[in-house]
Structure 1
Amino acid sequence: MVEPSDVEVEVARLLHARGERMTAPRRAVIRVLAAESGHAGAEDVVRAVAGLDAAVHRASVYRTLEALSDLGVVQHVHVGHGATAYHLLRSGPPHLHASCRRCGAVRDLPAALLDGVAARVHDEADFDLDATHVALSGTCGDCRRAAQAREDGSAG
């Protein structure tokens, strides 16, 4: 039997405090996300969970991702054209993300990065911004440098 990780123990404690329990699908999803170093798409999580426990249905994985997001231990962020990525919040509150429109890389950004923008949006438009829910779109440095190198090579 695999020993539960610190993350599983903490999530079980949080679930118990809400009158819920740790289920096999929840345990499998947590293990997959704990092993993931980046931001995993829901279908990536479904495939990885199937490798751990083939009895877990895909709908259970989706429900679990939503439940863990509601619990505050998983952050989901919309990247690209409707795709959603998930990752464990290992420490601290939700943070911002940037998504490269060329290579698809998702990078974490400091939560306070857009505080000035959020304050201005609040003051000028009477709107409270939740920038942690969607990724900022742009081009990462690697893709920008590669495009510049191609441009420099074709210009010479």
Structure 2
Amino acid sequence: MNRTVNHKPDYEKELRRAGARITRPRRTILQILAQTDDHPDAMEIYQRASAIDSTISLSTVYRTMKLLEEMGAIHRHAFEGGPSRFEQASGEHHDHLIDLDTGEVIEFHSDRIEQLQAEIARSLGYEIVHHRLELYGRKRRKS
């Protein structure tokens, strides 16, 4: 099982291609997204962006995230027990392990899991078109 490595997308280029205006606040939000390696929620993005530009509003963050999601540039995850979190859509397929104590989201990929899912779907007469696997857990205590 290996952790995934994502390549950073050019969100500004994608927004321009879609005909969206690139305002100063939006550029700051895009910069934050391009630099992040975690799965921030809208409030975390807002806090990081407003530390750079205090004129940024939370509604600008929400509108920008909605636009990027509609374009397919980011994925929104509604992990159990918390706010929606965002991640880039251009990375390779991976699954998530969510630490229930810290809220940390750990990305991983397992060929064994992928093969087992395909095998199960095939045995039931299906072909997998899309799937999402989320595991929730706590660190094991050392004995």
TM-score normalised by length of structure 2: 0.71
Between Structure 1 and Structure 2, the one with more helix by share is: 1
1:128 Cα shift? 6.0
Gaps of 5+ in 2: 1-7
The equivalent residue for 1:4 is none
Structure 1 gap ranges (5+) = 1-6
Change beyond 3 A, Cα 1:122–1:78: farther
Q: CA deviation at 1:107?
A: 0.7
Structure 1 counterpart of 2:75: 75
Q: How much has 1:94 moved relative to structure 2?
A: 4.9
The 1:72/1:42 distance shift into structure 2, 3 A limit, reads same
Q: Output the amino acid matched with 2:27.
A: R
Equivalent residues in 2 for 1:2-41, closer than 5 Å: 10-41=10-41
Segment drifting more, 39-48 vs 117-126 = 117-126
More deviation in 112-121 or 15-24? Answer: 112-121
CA RMSD, 1 decimal: 3.0
Structure 2 residue aligned with 1:104: 103
For residues 48-93 of structure 1, the C-alpha deviation after alignment (integer angstroms, 9 at most, x for no partner) is 111122222111101111211222332322223142222334x534
Structure 2: distance between partners of 1:49 and 1:84: 18
Describe the SS at the equivalent of 1:104: coil
Distance 1:43 1:125 in 2: 43
Once the two structures are TM-superposed, the CA of residue 31 in structure 1 deviates from its matched residue by 1.4
Percent identity for Structure 1 against Structure 2? 21
Which structure 2 residues correspond to residues 130-145 of structure 1 after superposition, within 5 A?
130-132=130-132, 135-139=134-138, 143-144=139-140
- d(CA) in 1 for partners of 2:118, 2:64: 31
Structure 1 residue 111, shift from structure 2 partner: 7.9
CA distance in 1, matches of 2:127, 2:63: 30
Question: Which structure is higher in RCO with an 8 Å CA cutoff and minimum separation 6?
Answer: 2
Structure 1 equivalent of residue 88 of structure 2 = 88
CA distance in 2, matches of 1:49, 1:38: 15
Q: What SS is found at the alignment partner of 1:28?
A: helix
Alignment length (residue pairs): 135
**Rg: which structure is higher?**
1
Match of 1:81, SS state, is: coil
TM-score (norm 1): 0.66
CA contact (8 A) 1:40 1:85 kept: yes
Distance change >3 Å, CA 80–CA 24, structure 1 → 2: same
Relative to structure 1, the CA distance from residue 94 to residue 42 in structure 2 (aligned partners, 3 Å threshold; closer, same or farther) is: farther
